[in-house]
Amino acid sequence: MNAVFLIIWSLLPGLLWLQWIYKRDTYQPEPLGTVGKAFGIGMLLTLPAGILNETFGMTAFLTYTVSPNLMDMAALSFGVIGPAEEGLKFGALYLFFFHHKDFDEPIDGLVYAGSIALGFASAENILYVISHGNEVVLLRGITAVPAHFLFAASFGYAMGRMKAPGKSRGPSLLWGWGVAAIAHGAYDFMIFGAAVLGIPSVGYLGLALVLLGLAIKWKAYVEELAFLSPFRPHTQRGNCPECGMIRWPDGQYCEGCGLPLLPVGAK
């Protein structure tokens, strides 16, 4: 099959998911050039990730290549692959985008974290197609590819919260990386553990539960960070008649005391 077609086919799931993420940034969409840069950096990260996984994974857990067991799979997943790959994505997001002029609202943390992660997953797709054939793209398009941007959501959220004007800063960046590393490790452990046990149905169930939980959290992150955007329309803010707290114009209840509120401007 034509090499150009295989590359496009490998990139397609990541680009489709990227478009879906991009549309969640409704108030101040990011420049496509900056998003594309993040995607490209994510692709390049597969090179150091491969070196780290090979060096520390196969050297530290030699029994993996001889007689794999669940302890080795847990060590490989939670001790090497998860921390290494999410650490690289975290570092790229912080170094190249956190202080970038285009990172100007909280939800941008999810956009750029997702772009880097999807670039990473897309480059992995190319490698998998070379090794296993083009059919693998369909399965990865609904599992591994979205999983990567869901892993990265925790540190994208943490960095996004630090951009929120006049709000508490949220969780630490270390928390964001740690949650991503654990989530990634759990995902890989489901795959490796099911292979060791010879029970693929257990692995599929585990993957589904991990992805579902991450997707629910990602949706919550989007809603919270979008609400905190300085570009969110709120030119006519009002005050709660009970506690005086400033509120958004579309709020139905006061965030301070819970009092039901009339629309701003209503008599």
- 153 contacts 39 by C-beta, under 8 angstroms: no
The residues pairing with 239 across neighbouring beta strands, listed in sequence order, are 246
pLDDT at 100: 96
Q: Is the dihedral of CA 89, 174, 111, 92 positive or negative?
A: negative
Token digits of residue 51: 């070196």
**Res 247 pLDDT > 60:** no
- 121 contacts 144 by C-beta, under 8 angstroms: yes
Domain regions of the chain by residue span: 3-232, 236-267
Measured CA to CA, the distance from residue 202 to residue 38 in angstroms comes to 35
Q: pLDDT per residue over 141-183, tens digit each?
A: 999 999 999 999 999 999 999 988 765 678 999 999 999 999 9
Q: pLDDT per residue over 67-84, tens digit each?
A: 667 888 888 899 999 999
Q: What is the pTM (predicted TM-score) of this model?
A: 0.84
Measured CA to CA, the distance from residue 52 to residue 50 in angstroms comes to 6
- 147 contacts 14 by C-beta, under 8 angstroms: no
pLDDT at 165: 74
Mean pLDDT of all residues in the chain?
86
* Biggest distance spanned by C-alpha atoms of the chain: 76
**Res 120 pLDDT > 90:** yes
Q: pLDDT per residue over 11-62, tens digit each?
A: 999 999 999 999 999 999 999 999 999 999 999 999 999 999 888 766 555 4
Token digits of residue 224: 């919270």
Q: Are strands 246-247 and 238-239 parallel, antiparallel or unpaired?
A: antiparallel
Could you tell me which of 245, 266, 131 has the C-alpha nearest to residue 258?
245
First to last CA, the chain: 69
